[in-house]
Amino acid sequence: MREFQRTSLSVNYSVMKQESSSRQPSPFSEASVQQGVLTNGLRIITDAVPFVKSVTLGIQIDAGSRDDPKESPGLAHFIEHAIFKGTKRRTYIDIARNIEKHGGYLDAYTTKEQTCIYLRCLPEHLEPSFDLLSDLVCDPVFPPEEIEKEKEVVIEEISSVNDTPEELIFEEFDLRSFPRHPLGTPILGTEKSVEAFSDENLKNFMRQHYIPQKMLITATGMVHHDEIMLLGERFLGKLREPSGSQYVRQPFLAEDYTPFTLTLKKRVCQAQIVLGTAIARHDPLFYSLMVLNSMLGNGMSSLLNLELREKRGLAYNVYSSITFFDDLTAMNIYAGTDSNKTKVTLELIRELLQSDALKQPDPEEVLAAKRKLLGSHIMGMEKMTRRMSQTASDLSYFGRYIEPEEKTAALEAVTAEDIAEAATRMLHDAPYSTLVYKPGKQG
């Protein structure tokens, strides 16, 4: 799955300049964010939210599919599965029952740059839940029989992606866009690579990446910072940095992006279209690009939805997305349409990308896009798992927690001229690629 796209911002109910200042104070303003560092260097950030009655606790690891060994694509994701299969103190059944008998749940996900293992629980069960979460990342044992079964599970997950054209085309688009860079490899790996994973592969990866300097604990909801710090020291303080040389992530260079145009025959019912491009990370454009994406393809009133769906009936599903990686920014446009309408759909998308709507945007449209973006993220703040991941994204991408007021002000400050500059940089200066799946017999 294409998860954790780093487009999320943590915002509050601060009113925009054009709005009345008579609104009631936001409950989000009551939240209290505090940070700390354990004696082993592991960072902790707590976000106390007094109006919820639960705790969301996560451990983020700064390692994803772009950190997989070249010969073992999918390893980071497989470890996310494998740690649930047993630890020195718990079987896989114990792991499942320990959290659910207290009314909580446990989950995890892997992206191209991060892995997250998290749980939700009631405050009175925080200590045993913290113990369970730390046990997964500190003491997994990878029982051979369970690992072999889990390989079959992940292979089924790969098959599920292969049966879902919208997911598969994005995966192939990345592979062809970055053929010589690990950002192009599938998060899940391949059936062949998964079958080949060994116990030593898993342990070596964890020794390299599941270390204090690459981990972050986030606790959101009904939490107390001092208590989280004490529990962190108790359950995770034993983690230590490995001896020897440290892993260095392969950087992204301009030549790592390979523009292409390709149409393939696939066993699909409708044509699948993805256009996209990538540019080097440029922080001054961060908020402008967020608003640009909101205008272009986020929601019912977006330019793409109005032009392709509402005006012409060419697509049921059409949108744009933006992904902020550590060292590059990628933008994609997706549409699903009748095979006979592929040409006109592509022409309209390309015309829209060159139109005055982006080159000389209407200030009122920019304002509407900002409000749409702010509203979406405000509502996202009511979801504690979303809130947890947003806090982690701040520290991962910016190196610090960004106050909601700072983010709100940065979004408010985006102008029509900023959108024009972002569109020029993202959509015109960098060549974009096109991948189309059309119904037919695969060659």
Q: Annotated catalytic sites, by residue?
A: 80
> Residue 244 region, left (φ>0) first, then alpha (ψ -120 to 50), else beta?
left
DSSP 203: H
- Give CA–CA dist 258/176, Å, rounded: 7
Q: Are 33 and 401 in contact (CB under 8 A)?
A: yes
Beta bridge partners of 439: 266
Q: What are the DSSP calls for 294-334, one per residue?
A: HHHHSSTTSHHIIIIIITT---SSEEEEEEE-SSEEEEEEE
- In order of 274, 296, 421, 427, the CA distances from 355 in angstroms are 19, 11, 14, 11
Q: What are the DSSP calls for 9-66, one per residue?
A: -----PPPTTS-S-SPPPGGGG-EEEEEE-TTS-EEEEEE-TT-S-EEEEEEES--GG
Tokens encoding 363: 């200030």
Q: Which residues of 351-374 are buried (b: 16+ CB within 10 A; e: fewer)?
A: ebbeeebbeebeeeebbebbbbbb
- Give CA–CA dist 115/136, Å, rounded: 13
Instruction: Tell the residue number behind the tokens 């098959």, with chain if given.
Output: 159
DSSP 280: E
Q: Are 9 and 293 in contact (CB under 8 A)?
A: no
Annotate 208-247 with three-state secondary structure: HHCCHHHEEEEEEECCCHHHHHHHHHHHHCCCCCCCCCCC
- Give CA–CA dist 276/426, Å, rounded: 10
Q: Are 394 and 407 in contact (CB under 8 A)?
A: no
Q: How far is CA 392 from the centre of its chain?
A: 11
